[in-house]
Structure 1
Amino acid sequence: MRNERTRYLIVPGWHGSEDDHWQSHWQRALPNAARVEQSDWIAPQRADWIAELERAIRRDSGRVVLIAHSLGCVTVAAWAAQADRRTLAQVAGALLVAPADVERETCHEALRNFAPIARQTLPFPSVLVGSDNDQACAPQRALALGRCWGAETVILPSAGHINVKSGHGAWDSGYRHLFRLQYLIDLQSRRRA
């Protein structure tokens, strides 16, 4: 996965990703990794989160691979739906893990301002990883979002919300999805060459 020209940008969900979360492990392990730091992790505002993601992508002109979790996935989709072509072109691809269905009836009130979920096809390769027992997003919804976003979608058995609470600390097995994304990015690059 070492590519000096590519930045890995971690896009956490609600409350951020604590030190034991796989996103934090990956940030420490991946070359050129950084994190989108939101000003308010507790009472998130859609426009603020989108703007901060935009700033993080534009921080330098190199290519970026987004690694999003939960509300971060919804933020990536919302950002991509309204971003300009120049900034969109900086994104090589996105790994979208355990998207939060902010339109579900049981969604926490603090997250409802992220609805409706953007459903435009993402203009870069993407892999969505969901779970068949994620309380934040039913597997059918994850599959539907994957179709809308044009993402290759994988539903893991009994993986919960793919976070620390569901037993996914370093989540080393998750790297296979990042490798798959890299393959899709490389495939797209070869087709455009």
Structure 2
Amino acid sequence: MPRYRTPSGIDEEQLWDQFRSGDEVAFARLYKEYVQVLYHYCAHFTADRALIKDCIHDLFVELWKHRQTIGQTTSVRFYLMASIKRKLVRHLNAEMKFSSQDDVENDREWLPGCAPSYESTLISFEEDDHVNSCVAKAIEKLPRRQREAVYLRYYQNLSNEEISSLMKINIQSVYNLIFGALTNLKKYISPEKVVL
């Protein structure tokens, strides 16, 4: 079985073991590698940015505090995503703020930061932006569970088994959610809507 790697290509298990043995540099690297992944994942549940940041901060404080008793894992990404989801849901339930999909603001930026001045490149960026915008709007129309499954599968590259465990549903439900999401996306994204 291939070993998992962090977003920048570092061996997860090795980094995790270094962190567990008290390596502060490895701990800082874990934070740097996964803070944005965790933030974007939490944004699927709430638009409360301060709460998301607090939960991520608390999670890493607890990880460092309990580093010597934390066990091994074959997927650090999965471990962290499962941990942050539990923590966030606990906070949301305690505050009775669990938001519906309509409350989640769409703060994704799809257009690359600065486009070169060449006309053809600019046109290409505009086309890409338009297509990405259509896809983003279509994804926002999906029911929350379908949107979560799509995010985990296609944006975080988790396996169906990992999604099943993380979402606490059986594997067939994962297939059903993803199939349903793709079916809905086909309805929401037609060629005439995508053409500039």
The question of a shared fold, defined as TM-score above 0.5 by the shorter chain, is answered with no
**Which protein has the bigger helix share?**
2
